[in-house]
Structure 1
Amino acid sequence: MSKEPAYRAADGMGVPVSRSKGLLSFLRDIVVVILIALVVSFLVKTFLVRSFFIPSGSMEDTLAVDDRILVDELTPRFTGYDRGDVVVFRDPGGWLPQISPPSRSPLADGFDRFLTVIGLSAADSDEHLVKRIIGLPGDHVECCNSLGQITVNGSPIDESAYIKLPSDSAPASALEFDVVVPDNALWVLGDNRNRSQDSRYHQEEPGAGFVPLENVVGRSFIITWPFERWSTIDSHPEVFNSVRDATTNDDGE
């Protein structure tokens, strides 16, 4: 009596049919897993967190050039922003210089953009800025008092926890300003105060130096790369503990 063959008839490639179906099933499963991973990455990037790299030294020593950071997009939608938060935002208009992008093949550029869409790259980092919030909507922000400090709603703030100045005696800003932050906007400054083109330097532009809240991507919360710089990003809320609410007058009423 003849034995049953180990496999059914071979397909046109000379591979037994059952083995061929097993290979196709395996490849199908791999494709499904990859598609699911891409969809999850896209959803995470769109609604939860995004990755950015730091192109300049305007936030030193909090953030260094080429640091890669994660930005929380979700939480601020419910809690809003606080003074001291380090935020990433789209250029309000005229803040970034017009620089021609490096020449790359359409294939390389398209692939990098695709990775950015799903959150695996940060090709659009040079279209965004990162600064620290000093003034919230309604805040009266002024610089500087007799000690060289910025005041928010009349209260001086000691920024020594994060600010970088050319000397200990230097004022918190070499450029004086006196502004009231409008509704749905922020007043932001870089930690490396004398090397940051921030709100102070755009007061003559249509947006008067304020960042619309709709331009804010989210709150930076962690440095992920280089590995030796892995750390959380401190908002230093203690710096602003003495700041009164914008609606409170000088008599505390």
Structure 2
Amino acid sequence: MPDNGANGPDSVSVRPKKKSRSFWRELPILIVVALLLSFVLQTFIARVYLIPSESMEPTLHGCPGCTGDRILVEKIGYHFGDPEPGDVVVFKGPDSWNTEFVSTRSSNVVVRGIQEVGSLVGLVPPDENDLVKRVIATGGQTVECCDDQGRVLVDGKPLDEPYVVTDFPFVPGTQTCDTPVRSGRCFGPYTVPEGNLWVMGDNRSNSADSRYHVGDELGGTVPVDNVIGKAVLIVLPPSRWGTIDSPNPQTS
């Protein structure tokens, strides 16, 4: 029988060795892929934001001397529907809300360029006045304060707001919206334009929110288009891990 060289006892199968790609040659590719994934995730899906002020206490910590909460803001949901009353949202401040905003960017052109690139992939905060408040009323609704118990009204109905712990004094018969010394809670009525939101901080006595900006071009409201996303989780510090409640405060 002829020997074809495939099965003989002395035959050796020789395969060409695959050249293993060096780790250092692959590393730049891995970094680029990671940065692209980070860009996609933080631009279209979710991003972490720092709470820098106390306007949402005690729901979100940002008090002087404490560790500010870092919250996860999801961006997908509002592609399929608008914010609703009770939602805690992060939004870009309208022009009149930016008077105290100070840019975090360097005056050095090179450093500023690096910061801008870092912002795209989430390594550096965006250079914009991003704020967090709770939605109280939406387009077409009328909001005001107060009823005889000091509650906020939307379309004439009082809100149930268990998340509000600190507010201006309201004492029936002594300090209300009709007494000579008016309660600091009182405002309105204001009707929210379509496509806009009336937002307020949970720390009602220390929040420069829609009430503070009623004299501006939008009557204190925020365009829905300015909303970045909904705050859903506290991710840092570990002692504060948990979901962020968004109960609808409007009674039926």
The answer to whether TM tops 0.5 is yes
**1:42 has 2:39 as partner:** yes
**Scaled by the length of structure 2, what TM-score is found?**
0.78
Contact 2:48 2:73 (C-alpha < 8 Å) held by counterparts: yes
- 1:92 corresponds in structure 2 to 94
Residues 44, 119 of structure 1: 8 Å contact kept: no
Asked if 1:215 corresponds to 2:212, the answer is no
Runs (5+) with no aligned partner, structure 1? 1-17, 244-253
- Does 100-109 or 138-147 show the bigger shift? 100-109
SS in 1 for 2:212: helix
Other-structure match for 1:144: 146
Matches within 5 A, 1:196-215: 196-215=207-226
Query: In 1, Cα distance between the equivalents of 2:86 and 2:137?
Result: 9
Q: Post-superposition, which runs of at least 4 consecutive aligned residues in structure 1 deviate over 6 A?
A: none
- Answer yes or no: is the 8 Å Cα contact 2:86–2:135 preserved in 1: yes
Root mean square deviation, CA, Å: 2.5
- Asked if 1:161 is matched to 2:163, the reply is yes
Supply the AA of the counterpart residue of 2:238.
F
Task: Give the 3 Å change call, closer, same or farther, for CA 77–103 of structure 1 in structure 2.
Answer: closer
Could you tell me the TM-score, scaled by structure 1's length? Answer: 0.78
Matched position secondary structure for 1:134: strand
Q: Give the % identical residues.
A: 38
Give 1:137 shift: 1.1
Is 1:116 the counterpart of 2:119? The answer is yes
Q: Is the 8 A contact 1:139 1:153 kept in 2?
A: yes
Question: Deviation digits for residues 3-47 of structure 1, max 9, x if unmatched?
Answer: xxxxxxxxxxxxxxx9xx75x632222211111111111011111
Shift of 1:52: 1.1
Greater Cα radius of gyration, structure 1 or 2: 2
Structure-2 separation of matches of 1:81 and 1:103: 31
Cα separation, 1, equivalents of 2:194 and 2:214: 16
If each structure's helix is expressed as a fraction of its own residues, which one has the higher value?
1
2:37 partner amino acid? V
Asked if the contact 1:143–1:173 (Cα under 8 Å) also holds between the matched residues in 2, the reply is no
Shift in Å, 1:102: 5.9
Amino acid in structure 1 at the alignment position of 2:23:
F
Give the superposition deviation at 1:110.
Answer: 3.9
Q: Give 1:104 shift.
A: 4.6
Aligned residues: 220
The gaps in structure 2 that reach 5 residues or longer are 1-16, 63-67, 177-182
In 2 relative to 1, CA 188–97 (structure 1 residues): closer, same or farther, beyond 3 Å?
same
Alignment of 1:180-191 (within 5 A): 180-191=191-202
